[in-house]
Amino acid sequence: EVVVVGSCMTDLVSLTTRLPRAGETILGQKFFIGFGGKGANQCVQSARLGAKTSLICKVGKDSFGNDYVENLKKNGISTAFVGQTADAATGTASIIVDSEGQNVIVIVPGANLLLNSEDLKKASDVICKAKVVVCQLEITPAVSLEVLKMARANGVKTLFNPAPALADLDPQFYTHSDIFCCNETEAEILTGIPVGNLEDAGKVGRMLLERGCKLVIVTLGAEGCMMISVEEPIPKHVPAGKVRAMDTTGAGDSFVGALAFYLAYYPRLPMEEMVRNSNYVASVSVQAAGTQSSYPYRKDLPQNLF
């Protein structure tokens, strides 16, 4: 089983011709609500590839929270450890996108920040019996670290995605990550080194590896990924296929979710192949609009991926 401990966010998206200025009211052309949050996104992608999944998270006792639980169920995700609290609203991301694709975003984490140690204790059985545990930083960082520690203590593989990045990430996150997977921006925040090319990606990968993880993957958008591990300490570029990108939001989460699936269900596959397959899954997600709405299902993917 793949267990994800992380966030759920309701995306409130308005499409406009331009972004409003302070104090200004403008008319938009379209509005839609989407399901997001890195934790949930990653879990949904894993589930759509066929993984048995549990999401450990917290939403509000409100209509967005109710709808989110329904969404998870529709994706076949176990919601036994999805808490609903009356003390905060479901996390939201209010997003305005203009005709050029520029956006402004306000995230209110709400209930996500109320996920706590008590909740982890209640879920400790599923966490400790998982094949792979995945977490990110859209919940209280100390809670994510506790998850990694619980998993480690029980021999469960840990996949950590340090997003959104924290410049002063607790060093224990590295030592408790079997796989540390970040994008270029996150890599830059963590190391202070901008990633402009493959060589930089290899360099930051090595720096992150030296902080104590077993394997580092830096995702590079259309370029795929750079991977480096304790066993193979020479950075290895794993390119993504050429596709016509339509909407890359949530591509990183599609990648992480796919990787969790391969780690749990094809543990003997060479890492490079897992990464290549995950690139493929994520590259399909960029060819359709939206976040979870763009994530492919197993039945829509080439059978040689399974």
| Contacting positions for ligand ADP (CB under 6 A) | 183, 219-222, 224-225, 240, 243, 245, 248, 251-252, 255, 279, 282-283, 286
Give the residue at shortest CB distance from ligand ADP: 252
84/266 with CB nearer ligand ADP: 266
Is 247 one of the catalytic residues?
no
207/243 with CB nearer ligand ADP: 243
Catalytic member of 11, 62, 178, 253: 253
36/60 with CB nearer ligand ADP: 36
User: Least distance in Å: CB of 252 to ligand ADP?
Assistant: 2
User: Least distance in Å: CB of 254 to ligand ADP?
Assistant: 6
Q: Cα–Cα distance between 176 and 49 in angstroms, integer?
A: 26
Give the count of alpha carbons within 13 A of 130, CB side only: 32
207/222 with CB nearer ligand ADP: 222
Q: Which residues pair with 9 in a beta bridge?
A: 36, 91
Q: Cα–Cα distance between 301 and 284 in angstroms, integer?
A: 9
* Closest of 151, 143, 181, 146 to residue 165, by C-alpha: 181
DSSP 193-218: ----SHHHHHHHHHHHHHTT-SEEEE
104/153 with CB nearer ligand ADP: 104
Q: Are 89 and 62 in contact (CB under 8 A)?
A: yes
User: Least distance in Å: CB of 117 to ligand ADP?
Assistant: 28
User: Least distance in Å: CB of 287 to ligand ADP?
Assistant: 8
Q: Are 250 and 292 in contact (CB under 8 A)?
A: yes
User: Least distance in Å: CB of 299 to ligand ADP?
Assistant: 21
Residues 6 or more apart whose Cβ sits within 8 Å of residue 184: 195, 201, 218, 219, 220, 221
Take residue 146 and report the two structure tokens written for it. 């506790």
In the DSSP assignment, the letter for residue 240 is: P
Q: Which residues are catalytic?
A: 253
